[in-house]
Structure 1
Amino acid sequence: MTTVKVNDIVLGVESFGADDAPLVLLVGGTTMLSWPDALCERLAAGGRRVVRYDLRDSGESTTGDPEAPDYTLRDLAADAAALVEALGGGPAHLAGIGVGGMVAQVAVLDHPGAFSALTLVGTRAVAPGPVDADLPDHDQATMGRLFSSPMPDWADRESVAEFAAAGAEVLGNDPGAARSVAERVWDRTPGTESQVQMANQLGMVFSRLDCTPRWRERLPGIDVPTLVVHGRLDPFFPVGNGEALAREIPGARLLVLEETATALRDADVREIAEAMLTLR
């Protein structure tokens, strides 16, 4: 792991594979650990230089005030393009997961010369908040259970890990895997301030981030090979959101993971990697 300075901020990055191989840039959602180690390793074994990174206000990247971010979604998209230039591997295959998928869509639209392919995982074509009428919103029963749980003591590693495991069970993910990731995220989070720890674990900064203007109507302008990956069992961004992305991006391929909810499983890694490696 290391850091790279772009756009007057620092981004935490981790690399896999040979430095001279074609670059695959993985946008964290919000930390880089949203991307499983096994997927990074398989892509690297397939002849790619894989770089995953933390968004601002997470991990090893610049931390300000996650409750009042002084940047926008467009700034995060510009970070992705600037990181490709700094790494010297452009144009790159860009992949975003969850809210990182929103960053990736805008990055490809605003900085088309920086990217040669696009992968979108478990995301949607509109910003956090009210959803378009034709897109399925969060499953309300699941969200009710999820958000009725009391917040943990964000300064206590075990409390945070238990909270993550309980939330994973509600969402249909593997509680053990979620606990392990939460512990790793906690260990990488600078300080124990509640708002910083919560931003790293939950990505709550996106609820306060300026994501205007809309970009969904621009999706037909994406002209790079695109893969859309979505879990059939995802209650947070139901699969109809991935289906809409695949319809609206010309030539996009849709890969639905039948047994997957919001988090990528080890069992998914081979299929996802093979699909990503076919993009040029």
Structure 2
Amino acid sequence: MATFRVNGVTLGVESFGCEEDPLVLLAGGTTMLSWPDSLCERVAEGGRRVVRYDLRDSGASTTKDPENPMYDLRDLADDAADLVAALGAESAHLGGQGVGGMVAQVAALDHPESFSALTLVSTRPVAPGPVDDDLPDHDQTVMSAVFSSPQPDWNNRRAVAEYAAGNAAILGNDPAQALEIAARIWDRTPTSGAAVHQANQLGMTFSRIDCSPRWRERLGDLRIPSLVVHGRADPFFPIGNGEALAAEIPEAQLLIHEDMGTQIPECANGAIATTMLGLER
């Protein structure tokens, strides 16, 4: 674990592999723990330096006011490009999961010199809010079930972890994995404030930032090897979002995992790592 000062903020990072190897930079969605340890380790074993990091207002990165963020999507994209330079690399294979995938898309479009490949996991080509007519929105039955669950005491580690585990099956995820990740996110949240814990667990800060202008119409400009990973069981960003991304990014590969929901399951790590490693060959 380490921190780097870039673009006026501090970003928390964790590294796997040798510093001399080509860089794979993984944007959290919103915390770095959206990228499983074993996936990072597998990619590192394939001869890559893997660095996963927390977005602003999450994990070990600069946290000010998650309910009123004073930055926008372009700032987060700039963070990614500046982090590549801070890590001493000329360019990186950039990965983004969930809302981190939105950051990754814009970063690759706005800073083509900084990124040599792109992996997008469980994300979509438009910002939070109303979706385009051709894209499937969140499964409203699932969202209603999740948001009707009683909120936990966000300052109670066990209650927060059990809340995540209770919602996991609804979201197509493994309850045991969700329990562990929620507890680790809670442990890494550098405050006792309930609002910060809630934002870290649910990624709520991202929905409050300015994500304009649109970028979907620019995806055809990407000229780097790209991989889109999506779960058939994802109710938050249903599979049609991943299919649209793969169709609109030139020559992008689409990897669909039949049993994957909103989190990357352990059983998918091998296929994802292998495909990522083969992307630039």
Task: Tell me whether the two structures share a fold, i.e. TM-score over 0.5.
Answer: yes
Write out per-residue CA displacement over residues 215-270 of structure 1, whole angstroms, 9 at most, x where no aligned residue.
00000011100000000110000000000000000000000001111111111011
Structure 2 letter corresponding to 1:240: G
Structure 2 letter corresponding to 1:107: A
Structure 2 portions without partners, runs of 5+: none
- Which residue pairs with 2:15 in the alignment? 15
- Which residue pairs with 2:82 in the alignment? 82
Shift of 1:90: 2.5
- Which residue pairs with 2:47 in the alignment? 47
CA distance in 2, matches of 1:103, 1:177: 25
CA distance in 1, matches of 2:90, 2:24: 9
Secondary structure of 2:198's counterpart equals helix
Structure 2 letter corresponding to 1:19: E
Give the TM-score, by structure 2 length. 0.99
CA distance in 2, matches of 1:273, 1:243: 20
Shift of 1:104: 0.1
- Which residue pairs with 1:261 in the alignment? 261
Secondary structure of 1:119's counterpart equals strand
CA distance in 2, matches of 1:23, 1:35: 15
Shift of 1:143: 0.7
CA distance in 1, matches of 2:70, 2:44: 35
Shift of 1:199: 1.2
2:195 matched to 1:199? no
Shift of 1:206: 1.4
Q: Which runs of 4+ in 1 moved over 2 A?
A: none
CA distance in 2, matches of 1:241, 1:124: 5
- Which residue pairs with 2:248 in the alignment? 248
CA distance in 2, matches of 1:192, 1:172: 30
- 1:86-235 alignment to 2 at 5 Å? 86-235=86-235
Secondary structure of 2:191's counterpart equals coil
CA distance in 1, matches of 2:103, 2:263: 18
Shift of 1:89: 1.7
Structure 1 portions without partners, runs of 5+: none
Aligned alpha-carbon RMSD (Å): 0.6
Instruction: Give aligned-pair identity as a percent.
Output: 66
CA distance in 1, matches of 2:234, 2:28: 18
CA distance in 1, matches of 2:167, 2:205: 19
Cα pair 2:30 2:58 within 8 Å, conserved: yes
Shift of 1:8: 1.2
CA distance in 1, matches of 2:199, 2:116: 30
- Which residue pairs with 1:56 in the alignment? 56
CA distance in 2, matches of 1:111, 1:185: 30
Secondary structure of 2:25's counterpart equals strand
Structure 2 letter corresponding to 1:260: M
Q: Which 10-residue stretch deviates more, 15-24 or 166-175?
A: 166-175
Q: How many residues align?
A: 280
